Structures are given as structure tokens and as C-alpha cells.
A and B are shown apart, each in its own frame.
Chain A
Amino acid sequence: GAVVSQHPSWVICKSGTSVKIECRSLDFQATTMFWYRQFPKQSLMLMATSNEGSKATYEQGVEKDKFLINHASLTLSTLTVTSAHPEDSSFYICSALTGGFYEQYFGPGTRLTVT
């Protein structure tokens, strides 16, 4: 199946700093990628839909100025958490659509800890 990678797999940053998470589709081109957030013992919450070459669409309640998404190529989308706070500590997961729209492939996730 299609492979999606994320980098880094985990990151620790200080409060007030920014951190960038990369999501790559390794063996296919993805015009659409999605970003999710998952807190411990909770389900995945969709944050935004990222389309190559256009602005991301954010879900209600997600601050677009805090979670910057860039989808500059067909294989790469980035999520930047700006001015991170401890409450931003979470598991961030991306996914990508293959050419066929039925299957959405997920990355392994990035665990962010803000101290």
C-alpha cells in the first residue's frame, strides 16, 4: 500500500517557540492531505484539509494563525505550531489521499511535547 511518512516522530520544544512537522507521501502524489490531532485516550480530531497549491481549510475551532499549513508540492505538507504552549502537546497525525479517493493513508504520527 501507499506509504506516508512524518518527521520528526517526536519533538520536545519550549513554550513560546515554533515547531514544524513534515508529512510526505513517499510513493504517490497527494493533491489532498489532512492533519489530525489526538490527545491521550481520545479519538482523532480533524484539524484541517490541505490542498496542494491552495490555502488549507480549517475545521471550526482550529486557529489558522496558530497552526500554519503549507502544501507546496504533491508529496509534502507541513504543519507549523506557532508560539507553542503546553496545551498544544499532543499526537499529530497526517494522512494523504491517493489517486483513487477511497483510501486515505495515514502517517505514523508526531508526538509533540511543549515544556
Chain B
Amino acid sequence: DAKTTQPPSMDCAEGRAANLPCNHSTISGNEYVYWYRQIHSQGPQYIIHGLKNNETNEMASLIITEDRKSSTLILPHATLRDTAVYYCIVRVGVQGAQKLVFGQGTRLTINP
């Protein structure tokens, strides 16, 4: 699976949009981009995933560049409860290759 690079930490004001970047310049055509987050001392929580097109769900939006070498997770109106470590993971989206390899992630702090 392709390697991802994320900034170690970010801050965002409550109520503002939080934009978390991820670089995955070696991604291949059949690899999906996944985002998970981990709130302190809890198990990771699935947020969103995508292949080529931008995706949106009730939690966040995922913007993937046209060349697929980078992506941005957007939390449109960040709240204090969004303070967590956010992981960007790239993996092949086929049966039998489902394991997730976690990098160091971005520690996002939402400030009041």
C-alpha cells in the first residue's frame, strides 16, 4: 500500500472549517483513500473514503486532487468534540487485502 504523509499537528477554531491535508504521491490506480480518527483512549472511528471523485457524508467531505497524489479531509464546522488524531490511509480496495496500516496521523486540536 502507498505511504501517506500528514502534518503532525494542526489547530482550528471552533465553528470554522478544519482542512486536513494528506500526501500520497505513490498511490496507484486501484488504491482507495480512507480517513479514520481516534479520540483519546478510544478505538478509531471511520470517517470517509474515496477513490477518484470527491465524497461527502454527514461527518466530512473528502477532496481528492485530479492526479490523486493528495487529498484533503474537510470538517465543515469543527466542534470541540472533533479534537482527535486523524489518520489518512491508502489501501487496495479488493477482497483479501483489507488490512489497514496506520501512520502517525495529524493531531487536530479544536480551540474554543
Contact = CB atoms under 8 A, between A and B. Distances in A.
Nearest to A104: B100
Contacts of A91: 41
B44 A93 contact: yes
Interface of A is mostly: strand
Interface string A9-48: 0000000000000000000000010101000000111100
A63 interface: no
A34 B99 contact: yes
Contacts of B95: 101
Nearest to A4: B43
Interface string B42-68: 111110010000000000000000000
Interface stretch (A69-77, A79-87, A106-114): A106-114
Contact of B102 (A1, A43, A107, A109): A43
Interface string B66-94: 00000000000000000000010000011
A55 B109 CA distance: 41
Interface string B90-111: 0001110011111111000000
Given A43-B103, A102-B49, A97 B98 contact: yes
B96 to A, nearest CB: 9
B63 to A, nearest CB: 19
A104 B36 CA distance: 10
A54 B38 CA distance: 30
Interface of A: 1, 4, 6, 32, 34, 36, 43-46, 49, 91, 93, 95, 97, 101-109, 111
Given A43-B87, A46-B102, 12 more contacts: A1-B46, A36-B102, A44-B44, A44-B102, A46-B100, A46-B101, A49-B99, A101-B94, A102-B32, A106-B44, A107-B43, A109-B43
22 contacts: A1-B46, A32-B98, A43-B102, A44-B44, A44-B102, A45-B102, A46-B99, A46-B101, A95-B43, A95-B100, A101-B93, A101-B98, A102-B49, A103-B46, A103-B49, A104-B98, A106-B44, A106-B46, A109-B41, A109-B42, A109-B43, A111-B41
